[in-house]
Amino acid sequence: MAYKNFILVCAGTGCESNKGIEIYESLLREAEAQGVKNDVQIVKTGCFGFCEKGPIVKVLPSESFYVEVKPEDAKEIIAEQVVKGREVKRLLYKKDEKSASNVKVEDIEFYQKQFRVVLRNCGVINPENIDEYIARDGYSGLEKALFKMKPDDVIAELKASGLRGRGGAGFPTFMKWDLTKKAPGDVKYVVCNADEGDPGAYMNRSTIEGDPHSLLEAMAICGYTIGSHHGYIYIRAEYPLAVERLKIAIKQAKDYGLLGKDILGSGFDFDIEIRLGAGAFVCGEETALLQSLEGKRGMPTPKPPFPANCGLWKKPTVINNVETYVNVAVIMTKGAAWYSKIGTEKSKGTKTFALTGKIQNSGLVEVPMGTTLRDIVFDIGGGIRGGRKFKGVQTGGPSGGIITEKSLDEPITYESLSALGSMMGSGGMIIMDEDDCVVDIAKFYMAFCCDESCGKCAPCRIGTKQMHAILEKISKGTAVEADLDKLEKIGKSMTKASLCMLGGSAANPTLSTLKHFREEYLEHIRDHKCRSGKCKDLVVYEIDASKCIGCGLCARRCPVPCIAGEKKQPHVIDKSRCIKCGECFKACKFGAVAKK
Partner 1 sequence: MAKMSLEQLRKLREEKKQDLTRREVEGKEIQIIVGMGTCGIAAGAKETFDAVVKAVEEKGLGEQVIIRQTGCMGLCYVEPTVEVVKPGMPTVIYGKMTKDVAKDLVAKHLVEGKLLDDHIFDRPAADIMKK
Partner 2 sequence: MINAKINGMPVQVAEGTTILEAARKVEVKIPALCYNDDLEPWAACGICVVKLEGSPKLVRACTTPIAEGMSVITNDPDLVQTRKTVIELILSTHPDDCLACPRNQECELQRLAAEFGVREQPFPKMLRGLPVDSSSVSLILNPDKCVRCGRCVKVCQDMQNVWAIEFLGRGANTRIAPAADVQLNDGPCIRCGQCSAHCPVGAIYENDQTREVWDQLMQSGPEAKTCVVQIAPAVRVALGEAFGLKPGANVTKKIYTALRRLGFDVIFDTNFAADLTIMEEGTEFVKRFTNMATGKEGPLPLITSCCPAWVDYLEKYYGDMIPNFSTAKSPQQMMGAMIKTYYAQKAGLDPAKVFSVSIMPCTAKKYENGRDKTMWSSGQKDVDVTLTTRELARMIKQAGIDLVNLPESEPDSPMGPNTGAGVIFGATGGVMEAALRTAYTLITGQELKDVNFTGVRGLSGIKEASVHIGGTEVRVAVAHQMGNIAQVLEMVKKAKAEGKETPWHFIEVMACRGGCIGGGGQPYGCTDEVRTARIRGIYDADEGSTYRCSHQNPYIQQVYKEFLGEPCGHKSHELLHTHYESKPLYLK
Longest dimension (CA), the chain: 88
Among 453, 475, 513, 532, binds partner 2 (CB under 8 A): 453
- Binder to partner 2 among 458, 522, 551, 562 (CB under 8 A)? 458
Q: Does 102 bind partner 2 (CB under 8 A)?
A: no
498 interface partner picked from partner 1, partner 2, none, CB below 5 to 8 A per type: partner 2
CA 234, 235, 240, 241 torsion-angle sign: negative
Query: Measured from the CB atom, is 97 or 106 closer to partner 1?
Result: 106
> What's phi and psi for 355, nearest 5 deg?
-90, 115
The C-alpha atoms of residue 147 and residue 265 are separated, in whole angstroms, by 10
> In the set 45, 301, 418, 466, which binds partner 1 (CB under 8 A)?
45
Give the helix/strand (H/E) hosting 521.
helix 518-526
Per-residue exposure over 272-303, b if at least 16 CB sit within 10 Å of its own CB, e if not: bebbbbeebbbbbbbbbbbbbbeeeebbbbee
User: Taking the mean position of all CA atoms in its chain, how far away is CA 445?
Assistant: 17
Peptide linkage before 184 cis (omega within 30 of 0): no
Verify cis geometry, omega within 30 degrees of 0, for the bond prior to 172: no
Taking the C-alpha atoms of 45, 49, 54 and 58 in order, what is their torsion angle to the nearest 10 degrees?
A: -50
User: How many residues appear in the chain?
Assistant: 596
Task: Decide if residue 484 touches partner 1 (CB under 8 A).
Answer: no
Residue 469 binding result from partner 1, partner 2, none, given CB thresholds of 5 to 8 Å by partner type = partner 2
Among 314, 489, 515, 577, binds partner 2 (CB under 8 A): 489
Which of partner 1, partner 2, none does residue 201 bind (CB under 5 to 8 Å by kind)?
Answer: none
What one-character DSSP code corresponds to residue 42?
Answer: E
Q: Does 12 bind partner 2 (CB under 8 A)?
A: no
Name the minimum Å distance from CB 106 to partner 2: 47
Nearer to partner 1, 40 or 555 (CB): 40
- Alpha carbons 544 and 535: distance in angstroms, whole number: 22
Amino acid, res. 132: E
Beta-carbon count within 10 A of 439 CB: 27
Neighbours of 409 (CB within 10 A): 10
**Cα 371 from chain centre:** 14
Alpha helices in 310-457 (DSSP H): 322-334, 336-339, 373-374, 414-419, 438-452
The window from 85-93, 200-208, 320-328, 582-590 that contacts partner 1 (CB under 8 A) reads: 200-208
Give the one entry of partner 2, partner 1, none that residue 493 binds, where binding means its C-beta sits below a cut-off of 5 to 8 angstroms depending on kind.
Answer: partner 2
Contact between 148 and partner 1 per CB under 8 A = no
The number of beta carbons lying within 10 Å of the beta carbon of residue 128 is: 12
Interaction between residue 485 and partner 1 (CB under 8 A): no
Which of residues 92, 175, 256, 274 is near partner 1 by CB under 8 A?
Answer: 256
251 binds partner 1 (CB under 8 A): no
Q: How far is the CB of 275 from partner 1 (least distance, A)?
A: 20
Residue 153: contacted member of partner 1, partner 2, none (CB under 5 to 8 Å, by partner type): none
Which of partner 1, partner 2, none lies near 280, with the C-beta cut-off 5 to 8 A by kind?
Answer: partner 2
Min separation Cβ 341 and partner 1, Å? 12
* First-to-last C-alpha distance (Å) of the chain: 62
Cα 195 to Cα 578: distance, rounded to the nearest angstrom: 42
Complex with partner 1: residue 243 or 293, whichever CB lies closer: 243
CA 586 to chain centre: 31
Q: Does residue 471 interact with partner 2 by CB under 8 A? A: no
Residue 465 binding partner 2, by CB under 8 A: yes
Query: Which range touches partner 1 (CB under 8 A), out of 169-177, 251-259, 387-395, 455-463?
Result: 251-259
CB of 168: closest distance to partner 2 in angstroms?
A: 14
Strand partners, 235: 194, 276
Residues within window 63-122 making contact with partner 1, judged by CB under 8 A: 106, 108-109, 112, 114-117, 119-122
Does position 229 interact with partner 2 (CB under 8 A)? The reply is no
* 400 vs 428: CA distance, rounded Å: 10
- Contact map string, positions 241 to 280, toward partner 2, x by CB under 8 A: ---------------------------------------x
Q: Applying CB under 8 A, does 295 fall inside the site for partner 2? A: no
**Which of the choices partner 2, partner 1, none does residue 116 contact, using the CB cut-off of 5 to 8 A by kind?**
partner 1
Q: Which does 499 bind (CB under 5 to 8 A by kind): partner 1, partner 2, none?
A: partner 2
**Chain residues 538-557 in contact with partner 1, contact rule CB under 8 A:** none
184, 265, 302, 386: residue in contact with partner 2 (rule CB under 8 A): 302
Of 326, 116, 127, which is closest to residue 209 (Cα–Cα)? Answer: 127
Answer whether the bond into residue 316 is a cis peptide, omega within 30°. no
**Residues at the contact surface with partner 2, assessed by CB under 8 A:** 280, 282, 297, 299, 301-302, 304, 450-459, 461-466, 469, 486, 489-490, 492-493, 496-499
